[in-house]
Amino acid sequence: MRLPVRLVLLRPRNPENLGAVARAMKNFGADDWAIAELGTHDFAAMRRVAVHAEELLDRPRLVRTLDEAVADCAWVVGTSSRTVKGKRRLPPAEVAREALERAAAGRTAIVFGDERSGLTNDEVHRCHDLSAIPAGEAQPSLNLAQAALVYLYELRKAALAAAAPPSRAAEAGATDAELTAVEDALRAALRGGGFLAGPERHAVRDLTAALRRARLGRREARLWLAALRTLGRGREG
């Protein structure tokens, strides 16, 4: 299952981050990434972290600008907590859902700024929409590799949900009239069995309330009705 996205990393300078991003991509089925202005050449450190994903380190697109990295993408989402008029700010799960919906029209680019300052103002405005991970106020900034992993996880989860076979159509729920018939049959069975020897009070109401909370289907309600009526006929015989 290949994800229809490209991760775009701008000015990354920490080799361990790049190795961890490669590993996360392998974890969740992504294989397309572009790096603009690579700020490190410590490939040994990258490979130590990119466990079982070393081959991804051999094939990122190395470009000079954001424009080059996203030129063939149909939707460009920048990761930034800023609010910009005219741009949506979506949570990662919504980015994942929409990226899959847009897959037929083209690839989605998810853009990450450098580890120190994130995206510049020009880069934020260059993106079509924005996205942010709802982190706590005490530490709202995530490590680059951690942030990439969150988006990759949401993409994988959305892709698996979309590929799952459709669930069986839900059974029609029991009607109020059918539940009332079950209640009447329950009352008769309890009286016939001696449970209701005196005034009814609230026993039947409480027992029926549990059945109503269970949201019985029509087949289930009919089964209850048949069982209770059978019990009643057995005592009469």
CB 130 within 8 A of CB 90: yes
Mean pLDDT of all residues in 206-230: 88
CB 22 within 8 A of CB 56: yes
Domain ranges of the chain: 5-163, 176-236
Q: What is the pLDDT of residues 3-57, one digit of tens each?
A: 999 999 999 999 999 999 999 999 999 999 999 999 888 989 999 999 999 999 9
- pLDDT given for residue 210 in this prediction: 87
CB atoms within 10 A of CB 66: 24
What is the C-alpha separation between 28 and 46, in angstroms, rounded? Answer: 19
The two most distant CA atoms of the chain are separated, in Å, by 90
Distances in whole angstroms, Cα of residue 2 to Cα of each of 26, 103, 154: 10, 11, 14
Q: What is the pLDDT of residues 120-151, one digit of tens each?
A: 999 999 999 999 999 888 888 889 999 999 99
The dihedral through the CA atoms of 143, 147, 152, 154 has a sign that is positive
User: What SS3 class is residue 165?
Assistant: coil
Indicate the pTM of the whole model.
Answer: 0.72
- pLDDT given for residue 164 in this prediction: 73
The CATH classification number of 5-163 equals: 3.40.1280.10
